[in-house]
Structure 1
Amino acid sequence: MKPTEQTTPVPLSFENTSLRIPIAEILPLKQLSISVLKSVKYAQIAASIAEVGIIEPPVVIRDRQHAGVFHLLDGHIRVDVLAKRGEAEVVCLVATQDEAYTYNKRISRLATIQEHKMMLNAIEKGVPQERLARALNVNISSIRNKKSLLDGICPEVVDMLKDKHVPLNTIGQLKKLKTMRQIEVAQLMTAMNKYTITYAQSLVAATPEAMLVKPKKPIKGLSQDQITLMENEAANLDREFKAIEHDYGTDHLDLVLATGYLTRLLSNARVVRHLAQYFPDILSEFQKITELRKAA
């Protein structure tokens, strides 16, 4: 019989139970700046706490030298809001180790479409739009606009952008396009990893009128011939981009193999001496290529 393998248990990152801790006993690791106190994020968190309370508990760690004292690792804004509201205690998660990393940097923030679906789900379950507006610290009209966010957007585009952080105005630009052009533009934005409103506007401006939901408004200073030329150039760029994207993987592999071979070649002193004596220009170019690879 084989001996039983011993496995080392993974230590817990947090204590088994959360604690209700007096705010006075929690020492922040940083002071909130004036800009943070006046930010939209601070106002939204304050509004959310006022409406629904604490959703994500702050994270603290025990002071190793003073019993009953805790250091605040994550949740500085939440604790500050509670203190200003006159709260004496807060429920916290107690970490067992301080690895000096920021918790919020490891959180995947909700993408635009995910947030939209979550908000619709809340409304369907009976949460009043007014309460959502108060919790998010936005105007009620903003909630109504977000409710119809995906009206006019085809399912293929929704699927492509479902986990992307796309500005609301960019989605508004997509609504100006017919289905096939929506898909093309979404593919371009995803390939470029660029979802800004200006980029979306440029793609809409370069779209032929036949692929728009409504006719374009005349552009001041441009004739119809100039607009048509711009649309044709944009279509050519789209085709060239897709061709380059198709060949990129193969070309990149070839480049990695070639530079790897050159690096090994130039590590041979006899080869370097031969090239330096008879082909100095080629040696210089080879060295530039290998240096670029090291820098990359």
Structure 2
Amino acid sequence: MAKSPLGQAVHACFEQKLVSLPISQIDFLRPVAPKVRRSAKYARIAASIDEVGIIEPPVVARRSPNNDRYLLLDGHLRVDVLASRGAEHVACLLATDDEAFTYNKRISRLAAVQEHRMILKAIEDGASEQRIARALNIDVQTLRAKKRMLAGVCPEAVDLLKDRSIAEGLFRVLKRMQPLRQIEAVELMIAMDRFTITYAEALLAATPQNQLVADDQPKQVRGLTPEQMALMERESSQLERELRVAERSYGPDHMHLVVARGYLGRLLGNARVVRYLAQQHPEFLAEFQRIIEGDTAAA
């Protein structure tokens, strides 16, 4: 048991050492369907295990203190691949609590930027391109494209996207913009919580010609006419101005909403007030109730 900076006891969520368990004693939360075994993701995991073994150990929890069976919380495909290879044991991370319903939500899957950095680090450490490609179940040309993925993208935009699960094609769109516009585009993606290539191309269409890398060449976006792109540029500029204004006022507005919500909650705790509103202003009562019962952040 560790201590927090405040001196409070902190319970570890996992055993400190990996444990080797018989695969026959591990119960899956869900079966691995034949369709999943034919998927590209499954093939990639299998190729990685064949080449370099298990990198991220599966996570299990004991079914009960007096039971020799374990519940698989994370790593279904990895364990299934090992079983198909005839393996009898697997090294697992043993959870001290059963987090079957929440564990997967806490896992941070490998983002595109992180994968790019992992590839560069593996090459720096002496791994050959061929071996890395086999481990990722891709060809060498695709691996080289992943190596070049961030060339032409400014560090500030990369840093904003470093933990996001996004398509690699999004970076190809950003490369057509100048650095400052790249940052603006990524900030808009974050504000709108949209990281699709389609949305990136829409932002490209709304980018003025002088903010593109090849500003001496006519901007071309598939499916859009020059007139439509000009309209998108004007509307995008207006949207960005409105977004900046909203960002400046969001904090005070949210604070006012929280205070008002608390006041209305106390007000409607008075039976006489509720009775009066119900008789004289039922429409106000309905709105007040909607406000105090709703999510503050979403209201």
Residue of structure 1 aligned with 2:253, choices 226, 229, 251: 251
8 Å Cα contact 1:173/1:204 also seen in 2 = yes
Deviations 1:49-99 (A, max 9, x none): 1000122333445565987x4324243322221122122333334445535
RMSD (Å) for aligned C-alpha atoms: 2.9
Q: Which amino acid aligns with 1:43?
A: A
1:156 is displaced (CA, Å) by: 1.7
Quote the Cα distance in structure 1 between the aligned partners of 2:15 and 2:223: 66
TM-score if structure 1 supplies the norm length? 0.83
Quote the Cα distance in structure 1 between the aligned partners of 2:116 and 2:173: 17
SS of equivalent residue, structure 1 residue 247: helix
Of structures 1 and 2, the larger Rg is shown by: 1
Quote the Cα distance in structure 2 between the aligned partners of 1:9 and 1:259: 36
Deviations 1:167-197 (A, max 9, x none): 2111111111012211111111122222111
Change (3 A) 1:120 1:25: same
Change (3 A) 1:247 1:97: closer
The number of residues matched between the two structures is 285
8 Å Cα contact 1:60/1:70 also seen in 2 = no
After TM superposition, the structure 1 stretch with the greater mean CA deviation from structure 2, 138-147 or 225-234, is: 225-234
Q: Which amino acid aligns with 2:202?
A: S
Quote the Cα distance in structure 2 between the aligned partners of 1:94 and 1:218: 51
8 Å Cα contact 1:259/1:290 also seen in 2 = no
Structure 2 stretches of 5 or more lacking a match? Answer: 1-6
Matched, 1:217 2:216: no
1:128 is displaced (CA, Å) by: 0.8
8 Å Cα contact 2:63/2:71 also seen in 1 = no
Deviations 1:123-168 (A, max 9, x none): 1111111111111112222211110111111122122222222321
Change (3 A) 1:261 1:18: closer
Alignment of 1:259-270 (within 5 A): 259-270=261-272
8 Å Cα contact 2:205/2:221 also seen in 1 = no
After TM superposition, the structure 1 stretch with the greater mean CA deviation from structure 2, 14-23 or 224-233, is: 14-23
After TM superposition, the structure 1 stretch with the greater mean CA deviation from structure 2, 33-42 or 190-199, is: 33-42
Q: Which residue of the partner structure matches residue 273 of structure 2?
A: 271
SS of equivalent residue, structure 2 residue 290: helix
Change (3 A) 1:16 1:118: closer
Change (3 A) 1:254 1:103: closer
Change (3 A) 1:291 1:20: closer
Alignment of 1:4-153 (within 5 A): 13-14=13-14, 17-61=17-61, 69-73=68-72, 74-101=74-101, 103-153=103-153
Change (3 A) 1:185 1:9: closer
Q: Which residue of the partner structure matches residue 181 of structure 1?
A: 181
Q: Which residue of the partner structure matches residue 240 of structure 1?
A: 242
Quote the Cα distance in structure 1 between the aligned partners of 2:52 and 2:197: 33
Q: Which amino acid aligns with 2:272?
A: R
Quote the Cα distance in structure 1 between the aligned partners of 2:42 and 2:182: 36
1:290 is displaced (CA, Å) by: 2.7
Quote the Cα distance in structure 1 between the aligned partners of 2:243 and 2:8: 51
SS of equivalent residue, structure 1 residue 293: helix
Q: Which residue of the partner structure matches residue 284 of structure 2?
A: 285
